[in-house]
Amino acid sequence: MPAPAIMRRDVRELALEELEREVVAEGERTFRARQIMRWLWGVGAESFDAMRDIPAALRARLSQRFTADLPRTTASRAEDGTCKLLLTLAGNEAIESVIIPADRRLTLCLSTQVGCAMACEFCATAQMGLHRNLTAAEIAGQILVARREITADDRFTNFVFMGMGEPLANYPRLARALKIISADWGLGISPRRITVSTVGLITGMETLMADFQVNLAVSLHATTDEVRSRIMPINQRFPIADLLAACARLPIARRNRITFEYVMLAGMNDSPEDAARLIKLLRPLRAKINLLFFNPFPGSRFKPSARATVEDFLAVLRQGNLTATLRESRGRDIAAACGQLYAERGPQQHQPESAVESRQGRGEGARPGVGPKDQAGRIH
């Protein structure tokens, strides 16, 4: 009889060498650990019983000490192809992951915390405050459950840590998750396909870029300290000049650039003067800038900039020789602003008409796909 789940550890927390030690302690050879990893991360098995090529005695002993289940998932699909997943975790907490189809890309947006402590004024997640950090297994496990929502023919092309939470405020667990995600015994995903987004925690950025060859996105969102401090309290700790100086020192791979995110807020940061300042700030860096449409949510005090304003802003940046792109806002009909789905419905009440209960755990295979179509707007 297994111990109660609360006493058992999530086996997906373990790195290969740790699992090898576990199986050796159970009197088995180390290769069993790789077999188990294939079941956990390749197949997405949710019980040791499903691991048919593992000796029954080892399965029984491991299941007494470890769990292998994944979060329960509810999917909401927008007309534009965006698919938002609400994952219910232990303790009845919930997080969001979003599948974003683009022209030739299928991006998965991942969370790293339940809520967030960064208090960015334009963000729905900020209204929750920080509930807790996600574990490494919960961070990486989002990829497993999201895979069940796409067709067998589809593959995620990009993984962006732009969901709930500030990734670098949960660095030890993020780092363990990145190891699992990129390892050949884990999910085998190239770090080049992964982007970590941050409000600009300088020490964390430096550690991340020393440890992993992932892409970095920095939420800038303003061109003066006065405005940035108003909309992003972190700016009082790491003002713009310090942040950009730190960015200039980062060991970014030769052909890479840092992406700067800039959400367009009407009357706040969208003037021609802002565009001119942005050029001046970013020109010395190997940078590209993503302009985002603001996705309003209940209680937000900002309005999105008019499309013409955004397009004029974009044109000025390009005339200033900045590499600049514009991301459309997506998934409005399913409350796709970061944290909005949770904030509006909560983990218990969430059951929108368009939502479909995930088939995971019921032995069914691929879901009706979200075909590659367009690009989504995120704020983080």
Residue of 60, 69, 68, 66 lying closest to 27 (CA atoms)? 60
Interaction residues for ligand SF4, span 330-359 (CB under 6 A):
338
Among residues 120, 216, 292, 324, which is the contact residue for ligand SF4, using CB under 6 A?
A: 120
40 vs 379, beta carbon nearer ligand SF4: 379
d(CA 336, CA 283): 32
Interaction residues for ligand SF4, span 124-143 (CB under 6 A):
125-126
Span near ligand SF4 by CB under 6 A; candidates 76-84, 122-130, 253-261, 294-302: 122-130
Span near ligand SF4 by CB under 6 A; candidates 88-96, 115-123, 317-325, 367-375: 115-123
Amino acid identity for residue 371 in this structure: G
Active site residues: 96, 338
d(CA 139, CA 253): 25
Contact pattern for ligand SF4 over residues 190 through 229, marking x by CB under 6 A? ---------x------------------------------
Residue of 284, 286, 275 lying closest to 314 (CA atoms)? 275
- The least distance separating ligand SF4 from the CB of residue 108, rounded to whole angstroms, comes to 16
Among residues 62, 108, 123, 279, which is the contact residue for ligand SF4, using CB under 6 A?
A: 123
- The least distance separating ligand SF4 from the CB of residue 134, rounded to whole angstroms, comes to 13
**Site size toward ligand SF4, by CB under 6 A:** 14
CB neighbourhood size of 41 (10 A)? 21
SS3 38: helix
Asked if residue 164 binds ligand SF4 (CB under 6 A), the reply is yes
Amino acid identity for residue 149 in this structure: E
- The least distance separating ligand SF4 from the CB of residue 128, rounded to whole angstroms, comes to 9
d(CA 116, CA 377): 19
Chain-centroid distance, C-alpha 102: 17
d(CA 4, CA 139): 23
- The least distance separating ligand SF4 from the CB of residue 10, rounded to whole angstroms, comes to 24
Q: In what order do the strands lie in the sheet with 194-198?
A: 323-327, 287-293, 258-264, 215-219, 194-198, 158-161, 106-109, 94-101, 83-88, 72-77, 355-357
The answer to whether the beta carbons of residues 96 and 163 sit under 8 Å apart is: yes
41 vs 161, beta carbon nearer ligand SF4: 161
263 vs 285, beta carbon nearer ligand SF4: 263
- The least distance separating ligand SF4 from the CB of residue 199, rounded to whole angstroms, comes to 5
Helices (H), the chain: 16-25, 31-37, 56-65, 136-147, 171-182, 202-211, 225-231, 240-249, 272-282, 307-319, 340-349
- The least distance separating ligand SF4 from the CB of residue 29, rounded to whole angstroms, comes to 44
Span near ligand SF4 by CB under 6 A; candidates 118-126, 185-193, 223-231, 308-316: 118-126
99 vs 130, beta carbon nearer ligand SF4: 130
- The least distance separating ligand SF4 from the CB of residue 263, rounded to whole angstroms, comes to 9
67 vs 235, beta carbon nearer ligand SF4: 235
The strand ranges marked E within the chain are 9-10, 66-67, 72-77, 83-88, 94-101, 106-109, 113-115, 130-133, 158-161, 194-198, 215-219, 258-264, 287-293, 323-327, 355-357
178 vs 263, beta carbon nearer ligand SF4: 263
Interaction residues for ligand SF4, span 301-320 (CB under 6 A):
none
Asked if residue 380 binds ligand SF4 (CB under 6 A), the reply is yes
d(CA 63, CA 237): 46
Span near ligand SF4 by CB under 6 A; candidates 163-171, 180-188, 200-208, 305-313: 163-171
Binding site for ligand SF4 (CB under 6 A): 116, 118-120, 123, 125-126, 164-166, 199, 338, 379-380
